[in-house]
Amino acid sequence: MRNDLLINTESACFVHEETVIKTANYTQRHRPTSAKSGDRFASNMSDAEKIAQTQKLLDRAIADAWYTVKSDRRPPKLTRTRWVWQLAVSYHLTHTYPQLIEEASRRFAAFGRNNLAQWAAQKAREERGHDRLALLDIQSMGYKAEAVVEALIPPSATVLGNYLAQSVHTPDPIGCVGYSYTLERIATGIKEKHIHSVEALLPPGICATRCLRVHSSIGGDVEHVKETVEMVAELTHEERIGVAIACYETALLYFNPFVEDDISEEELKYALKPLESRTHIQGKLDIHSLIR
């Protein structure tokens, strides 16, 4: 699947100092020498320039992580069974997110960081109920959805979920912004062609891409990315760097081949066999009616 985010990485960054960092030493070396000089640099830009350069900073952090962990390993071929596994990943990520980001909102508000508090509160509202889309997709595939997500807890979902929880619970929860931006930015690289390729694997009449459609280039994530960039562009120089570092760290976890969910097709079929349901949802439903 082509993702333009990982192709065009030669653009300049937002910070005035040398903060465009190479791969593995990113978090150690990506430090400004002077926050004040960085903010003076930003103050000379128009709003449009600040937003554009902020997105370049965050996107470069994600791309640097991708090049850091790039390997020859290829993910297993997508099958109907493995799609259920991917839906379990989506469920666990979307199930824990609203509560954690709502907690981040309260913490930002307690620190008087109202712009961040408002952003996090909005994120919690936007993402609430998306776990139900994943459950409906699993049910559509012919399985007992709640039983599936209880039995299948993919390592990648655990690792990413733990990172978000740790980011929210640190003295400065700014990392949750980078986490949110990274996953939504990557989702915007999922084009309709890929969604159709997934649907082609499914039995006729089965709709099991509700969650994928919402988290793709044809869903709400395009607008969410734009809103986050605009908010981050108004943060202090030091805060922007914190967000960029969190983007890099989140992307490292997302792309790391050692965090991949390397379960065999046979193991997956064995685990799912007793979770089959006699009845399942068929046909396409209005996803908007399923989100609270």
How is the chain split into domains, by residue range? 4-290
Contact 251, 66 (CB under 8 A): yes
pLDDT digits (tens, 9 = 90+) for 243-264: 999 999 999 999 987 655 678 8
pLDDT band for 271, please (50, 70, 90 cuts).
very high
What is the overall mean pLDDT for the chain? 83
Global pTM reads 0.83
Q: Note the pLDDT of residue 24.
A: 42
Q: Is the pLDDT of residue 34 over 90?
A: no
Q: Which DSSP helix (H) or strand (E) runs through 43?
A: helix 35-43
d(CA 248, CA 174): 13
Is pLDDT larger for residue 169 or for residue 278?
A: 169
Tokens 């809103």 map to which residue? 227
Rg (CA), the chain: 20
224, 181 contact by CB (below 8 A): no
The lowest-confidence range among 88-97, 125-134, 272-281 is: 272-281
List C-alpha distances in Å: 283 to 86, 103, 191, 276, 287. 20, 37, 22, 18, 12
Confidence of residue 36 (pLDDT cuts 50, 70, 90): low
Bridge partner list, 143: 276
> In this predicted model, what pLDDT tens digit does every residue of 207-216 receive, in sequence order?
999 999 999 9
Class for the domain spanning 4-290: mainly alpha
For residue 25, name the pLDDT band (cuts at 50, 70, 90).
Answer: low
